[in-house]
Structure 1
Amino acid sequence: MISRIALFKTLILAIAFTCSFASCFSQNGVTFLQFEGKEGPGKGKHIVMIAGDDEYRSEESMPMLAKLLSTHYGFKTTVLFPIEPSTGNIVPNFQNNIPGLEHLESADLMIMLIRFRELPDEQSKYIENFLKAGKPIIGLRTSTHGFAYQKSKTSPYAKWDWNGKAVGWEKGFGMRIFGETWVNHHGIHAKEGSRALVDGVQQMNDHPVLRGVNDIWVPEDVYGIKSLPSEAKVLIYGQSTAGMNAQAAPMWEKSVMPIAWTKPYQIEGGKPGMAFASTMGSSLGFQSEDLRRLIVNASFWLLEMPETITPDLNVEIVGDYKPTMFGFDTFRKGMKVSDFK
Structure 2
Amino acid sequence: MTSRRFFCLLVVLSFFSKSIAAEKIHIHFISGAREYKSEECLKAFIPWLENRYSVKSTVSWGHDGIKSLDNLEQINDADVLFVFTRRMDLPEAQMKLIRAHWESGKAIVGVRTASHAFQSADNELFDRKVMGGNYQGHFGGEPVRVINVAKDHPVLKNVGDIPTSNRLYKAGSLAKTATVLQQGDIGKAKHDVSWVNIWKGGRTFYTSLGVPEDFEDADFKRLLVNAIFWTAKKKISFIK
TM range, normalised to the smaller chain? 0.7 to 0.9
Q: Does the 8 Å contact 2:29/2:60 carry over to 1?
A: yes
Q: Taking structure 2 as the reference length, what is the TM-score of the superposition? A: 0.84
User: Using a 3 Å threshold, how does the CA distance of structure 1 residues 218 and 111 change in structure 2: closer, same or farther?
Assistant: farther
* Aligned positions, number: 221
Instruction: Trace 1:227-238 onto structure 2 (pairs within 5 A).
Output: 227-238=173-184
Q: Does the 8 Å contact 1:49/1:110 carry over to 2?
A: yes
Q: Which residue of 2 aligns with 1:45?
A: 25
Identity %: 30
3-state SS, counterpart of residue 73 of structure 1: coil
Letter in structure 2 aligned against 1:294: L
| Residue ranges of structure 1 left out of the alignment (5+ in a row) | 1-38, 83-91, 150-158, 163-170, 241-250, 267-271, 315-341
| Residue ranges of structure 2 left out of the alignment (5+ in a row) | 1-18
Q: Which residue of 2 aligns with 1:104?
A: 75
C-alpha distance in structure 1 between counterparts of 2:104 and 2:132, whole Å:
19
Q: Which residue of 2 aligns with 1:282?
A: 211
Instruction: Trace 1:137-216 onto structure 2 (pairs within 5 A).
Output: 137-148=108-119, 159-160=121-122, 162=123, 171-185=124-138, 187-188=139-140, 191-199=141-149, 202-203=150-151, 206-216=152-162
3-state SS, counterpart of residue 112 of structure 1: strand
3-state SS, counterpart of residue 127 of structure 1: helix
C-alpha distance in structure 2 between counterparts of 1:61 and 1:43, whole Å:
26
Q: CA deviation at 1:97?
A: 1.8
C-alpha distance in structure 1 between counterparts of 2:231 and 2:43, whole Å:
20
Aligned match for 1:258, one of 192, 207, 230: 192
C-alpha distance in structure 1 between counterparts of 2:176 and 2:135, whole Å:
18
Q: Which has the higher helix share?
A: 2
User: Using a 3 Å threshold, how does the CA distance of structure 1 residues 144 and 51 change in structure 2: closer, same or farther?
Assistant: same
Instruction: Trace 1:4-19 onto structure 2 (pairs within 5 A).
Output: none
Instruction: Trace 1:237-316 onto structure 2 (pairs within 5 A).
Output: 237-240=183-186, 251=187, 254-266=188-200, 272-306=201-235, 308=236
Q: Does the 8 Å contact 1:40/1:75 carry over to 2?
A: no
Q: Which residue of 1 aligns with 2:166?
A: 220
Q: CA deviation at 1:285?
A: 1.7
User: Using a 3 Å threshold, how does the CA distance of structure 1 residues 93 and 207 change in structure 2: closer, same or farther?
Assistant: closer
Letter in structure 2 aligned against 1:193: P
Q: Does the 8 Å contact 2:111/2:207 carry over to 1?
A: yes
3-state SS, counterpart of residue 118 of structure 1: coil
C-alpha distance in structure 2 between counterparts of 1:41 and 1:222, whole Å:
39
3-state SS, counterpart of residue 129 of structure 1: helix
Q: Which has the higher strand share?
A: 2
* Deviation digits for residues 101-142 of structure 1 (CA, Å, limit 9, x no counterpart): 100111011111111111011211211121122110011111
C-alpha distance in structure 2 between counterparts of 1:42 and 1:195, whole Å:
40
Letter in structure 2 aligned against 1:47: I
Runs of 4 or more above 2 Å deviation: 39-45, 92-95, 217-220
C-alpha distance in structure 1 between counterparts of 2:128 and 2:179, whole Å:
15
C-alpha distance in structure 2 between counterparts of 1:52 and 1:176, whole Å:
22
Aligned-residue Cα RMSD (Å) equals 2.3
